Copies of this chain bind each other. A is one copy, B any other.
Amino acid sequence: MSALDQTHDRTLTSWVTSANGHADFPIQNLPFGIFQPHGGSPRGGVAIGDEILDLREAVSLGLFEGPAREAAEAASGATLNPLMAVGAAARRALRLRLSELLAEHGAERAKVEGYATILLHQAADCTLHLPARIGDYTDFYAGINHATNVGRLFRPDNPLMPNYKYVPIGYHGRASSVRVSGGDVVRPNGQRKPASEEFPSFGPSRNLDYELELGIWIGPGNALSQPIPIAQAAEHIVGYCLLNDWSARDIQGWEYQPLGPFLAKNFHTSISPWLVTAEALAPFRSAQPARPEGDPRPMDYLWSEADQQAGALDIRLDVLLETATDRVAGRRPVRIGGSNTRELYWTPAQMVAHHASGGCNLAPGDLFGSGTISGTTTDSFGSLLEITEGGRKPLALPAGETRRFLEDGDEVIFRAHGVRDGFVSIGFGECRGRIAPAI
């Protein structure tokens, strides 16, 4: 876990004035991403207010030295994989230097601000790309309320599997179809067999859903057959994003036995473009919530005192929906759910340690999903499956529409913020996707 330092100082402001009071990207955040300015090539940048600092140009201008320069150069190319590989020390040196360069009262403000036209791009004028070439993508199932809610639909008396409180359940997902936020999510075709029909049929999914997840970016990896001890696991996490694990529930229900979800999930996964670093989130760590009495203690390979004390994240999550009708009418998106990462039964470090415990090798640019994060009340659920109890109780929207599952034209928007007294709030930016009709 990262320590607090001067980059978290609540009194810090930036000469990039749009950053001051910005809901997502004040100077205390400094997330990394890959952006493409109009007419330019993709390269690494840092979100600051409504603008993006161009790391390639900043390196060319000689603004970094030592480990900070090493990290900035690693973040100057078309993917952040090299930055993810450098390790926490260089990454922290870069953060410290970026904070200094962008600070309203920084020693070099005059010089740096003089470069502003070279260094800064209006975010609205840039295209954002995936932050990394994703090697492998793994989806966990650590949202215990989601697992309970979904399990209850199938097994009312015994919703959680016997392994749930011992094993950080996860499965491999499809890396090639992970896409950055924005644009269309095409409704998949697939085999569906409702209980009311004798035989399956092939056609557009009728039960298309979102899943609200935290994305976890892996930094330095491990060699095959060399597990990662839980005490070192946090050092392998470079940062976080939002992740929408779009799910076709009808396809999933028919295909998933006995080897798990496949086509129900691999048609598209959306992530937010900005990698919010572990360092930026230092103020928003929390103790792992106490397990209910009777729950087993995590096994030794999943237990460290430091992780239990500060390994969880305290991030507020929101799900908004904008329907096609809303869009035409000019209505703002409606909040339909959301919760907090404190609802996760396993910490990100436990996921890393578990994943590598049998020897599986992780690599810089691997991505984990946390599993759907739901609270315990309907307005805190992270999927329509839970909100509508499998489609049986449609959600009533304020303008009079209802939803069992997603309809064509619906746009789902995730947002996330770290909020804590004594600190400036930071955000993740948005993770968006709009449902397009099946082909």
- Residues of A at the B interface (CB closer than 8 Å) are 135-136, 139, 141, 151, 161, 163, 166-167, 169-177, 179, 184, 186, 188-191, 193, 199-200, 202, 224-227, 248, 251, 254-264, 266-268, 296, 299-301, 354-355, 357-363, 366, 439
Contact = CB atoms under 8 A, between A and B. Distances in A.
B225 A360 contact: no
Given A190-B357, A268-B224, A357-B189, A260 B171 contact: yes
Given A177-B224, A267-B359, A172 B262 contact: yes
A188 B358 CA distance: 5
A268 B190 contact: no
Given A224-B177, A300-B202, A358 B190 contact: yes
Contact of A224 (B179, B226, B355, B363): B179
Given A176-B363, A268-B224, A259 B262 contact: no
A186 B360 contact: no
Nearest to A186: B225
Contact of A259 (B171, B175, B188, B267): B171
A188 B263 contact: no
Contacts of A179: 224
A260 B139 CA distance: 12
8 contacts: A136-B174, A161-B257, A170-B259, A171-B171, A171-B259, A176-B362, A256-B258, A263-B358
Given A169-B262, A171-B259, 5 more contacts: A141-B259, A163-B257, A167-B191, A170-B259, A172-B174
B200 A163 contact: yes
SS class of chain A's interface: helix, strand, loop or mixed?
loop
A227 B266 contact: no
Contacts of A175: 135-136, 175
Contacts of A260: 171, 256, 258-261
A354 B172 contact: no
A212 B172 CA distance: 21
Contacts of A171: 171-172, 259-262
Contacts of A361: 176-177
Contacts of A355: 263
Contacts of A174: 136, 172, 360
